């Protein structure tokens, strides 16, 4: 089975996709293949068997690659294979592979593991350069952890909070971000990740990003974003909000934007709170662009533009004025 990009769509690729090991371009090719004919039904059959054979919520390092290699050596590739024998061999071989993985895991517990580095931000942003020269800007109250040399066939990090990633390209060693809600796989790209308030948000500025869980996935291109809440499917959209990662780029673009949203973007990017006693002020709209300016400069310019007064007291700005009452 081939698709328009000449990537071969076979059982091996499908299982690598389900185990989170397919490259973004392979995932995209697989998605295109699924919409043709009865391919989705075939994919769902393999997915159901795969999920049933793996232990629910397993946290141990299971060698799925070896398990599938054993399956592949004992079956014929493609839908023409005997359905009963094919599924039985997958389930049996996965169980054998999982058992072997558990044995190796426990046998090697006394061996020295690679040192894990943990970087956490508190009240200010932190910029980290990873072993492959990729960078991540951590927003406040965020953390990232990884081994000194990444190790293995992937560059893997654990992440929580909010971070702006610039990942160096390396097709032979994909970059994978693990969060509590989903995993994110890339080769080389620029994107923002937020895991706050029990919700995952991913926005792509450059390149492509694959967001996936055990039961769902979404390939996002530049200009696309996605959200995910626990127990719900991934929700992609063809829109991004570049102001959401203004904490990292210090660039903001507002186009007829209510001041309520403007103030929210500023508070997200800077360690300040904004008090607005008159709610009518939040109805006023702003069209402006800011590049590498401080919160104080932004608010003072907004005040001059909309005839508002700005008072600063430590980490709080107080905005006063007539505002923009809504017409009744």
Please report whether residue 326 resides in a domain: no
Q: Which pLDDT does position 114 carry in this prediction?
A: 66
Please indicate, yes or no, whether residues 101 and 42 belong to a single structural domain of this protein.
Answer: yes
Average pLDDT over residues 184-208: 94
Whether pLDDT at 73 is above 60:
no
Above 70 in pLDDT, residue 51? Answer: no
Residue 327 lies in a domain: no
Output the pLDDT for position 148.
85
| C-alpha distances in Å from residue 143, one per residue of 17, 162, 271, 307 | 27, 8, 17, 40
Arithmetic mean of pLDDT, 22-44: 79
- Residues 114-146: pLDDT tens digits? 678 999 999 899 999 999 999 999 999 999 999
Structural domain includes residue 1: no
Q: Give the mean pLDDT of 163-178.
A: 94
Stated pTM of the model: 0.69
- pLDDT for the residue 101: 53
Nearest by Cα to 243 from 232, 234, 253, 235? 253
- If asked whether residues 223 and 257 sit together in one domain, one would say no
On whether both 126 and 230 belong to a single domain, the answer is yes
Do 153 and 65 lie in a common domain? no
Judge whether 3 lies within some domain. no
CATH number, domain with residue 209: 2.60.120.1440
Residues 216 and 130 in one domain: yes
Retrieve residue 116's tokens. 């894990």
273-319: pLDDT as tens digits: 999 999 999 999 999 999 999 999 999 999 999 999 999 998 999 99
Higher pLDDT, 187 or 3: 187
Residue 314 or 46, more confident: 314
pLDDT above 50 for 235: yes
Render pLDDT for 100-114 as a digit per residue (tens, 0 to 9): 455 445 455 545 556
Domain hosting 141: range is 116-242
Cβ proximity of 67 and 98 under 8 Å: yes
Q: Is 102 part of any domain?
A: yes
Q: What does the pLDDT read at residue 82? A: 45
Domain boundary among the residues 86, 107, 128 is at 107
Residue 49 maps to a domain: yes
Considering the domain architecture, whether residues 103 and 180 belong to the same structural domain is answered as no
Q: Which of 212, 242, 272 is the last residue of a domain?
A: 242
Residue 280 is encoded by which pair of tokens? Answer: 């009518």
User: Does residue 163 form part of some domain?
Assistant: yes
Query: How does the average pLDDT of the chain come out, rounded?
Result: 82
Tell which of 78, 107, 136 closes a domain: 107
Distances in Å between the alpha carbon of 203 and those of 20, 77, 129, 235?
A: 20, 37, 21, 12
Whether residues 222 and 125 share a domain: the answer is yes
Are 257 and 290 part of one and the same domain?
Answer: yes
Total tally of structural domains belonging to the chain: 3
225 burial via Cβ count (<10 Å: 0-12, 13-18, 19+)? buried
In the chain, what percentage of residues exceed pLDDT 70?
Answer: 78
């Amino acid at each position: 089975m081939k698709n328009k990009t000449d990537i071969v769509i076979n059982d091996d690729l499908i299982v690598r996709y389900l185990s989170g090991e397919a490259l973004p371009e392979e995932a995209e090719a697989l998605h295109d293949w699924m919409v043709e004919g009865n391919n989705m039904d075939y994919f769902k059959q393999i997915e159901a068997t795969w999920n049933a054979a793996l232990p629910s919520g397993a946290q141990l390092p299971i060698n799925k690659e070896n398990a599938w290699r054993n399956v592949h050596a004992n079956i014929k590739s493609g839908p023409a294979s005997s359905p009963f024998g094919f599924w039985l061999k997958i389930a049996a071989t996965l169980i054998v592979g999982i058992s072997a993985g558990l044995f190796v895991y426990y046998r090697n517990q006394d061996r020295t593991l690679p040192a894990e580095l943990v970087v956490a931000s508190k009240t200010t942003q932190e910029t980290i350069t990873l072993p492959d020269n990729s960078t991540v800007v951590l927003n406040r109250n965020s953390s990232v952890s990884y081994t000194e040399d990444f190790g293995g066939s992937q560059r893997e990090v654990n992440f929580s909070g909010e971070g702006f990633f610039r990942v160096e390209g390396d097709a032979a060693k994909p970059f994978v971000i693990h969060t509590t809600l989903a995993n994110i796989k890339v080769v080389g790209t620029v994107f923002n990740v937020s895991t706050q308030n029990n919700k995952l948000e991913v926005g792509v500025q450059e390149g492509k990003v694959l967001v996936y869980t055990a039961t769902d996935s979404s390939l996002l291109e530049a200009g696309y974003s996605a959200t995910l809440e626990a127990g719900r499917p991934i929700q992609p959209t063809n829109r991004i909000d570049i102001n959401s990662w203004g904490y990292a780029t210090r660039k903001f673009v507002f186009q007829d934007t209510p001041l309520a949203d403007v103030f929210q973007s500023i508070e997200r990017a800077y360690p300040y709170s904004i008090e607005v006693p008159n709610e009518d002020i939040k109805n006023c709209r702003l069209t402006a662009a800011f590049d590498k300016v401080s919160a104080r400069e932004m608010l003072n310019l907004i005040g001059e533009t909309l005839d508002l007064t700005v008072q600063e007291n430590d980490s709080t700005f107080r905005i006063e004025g007539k505002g923009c009452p809504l017409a009744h």
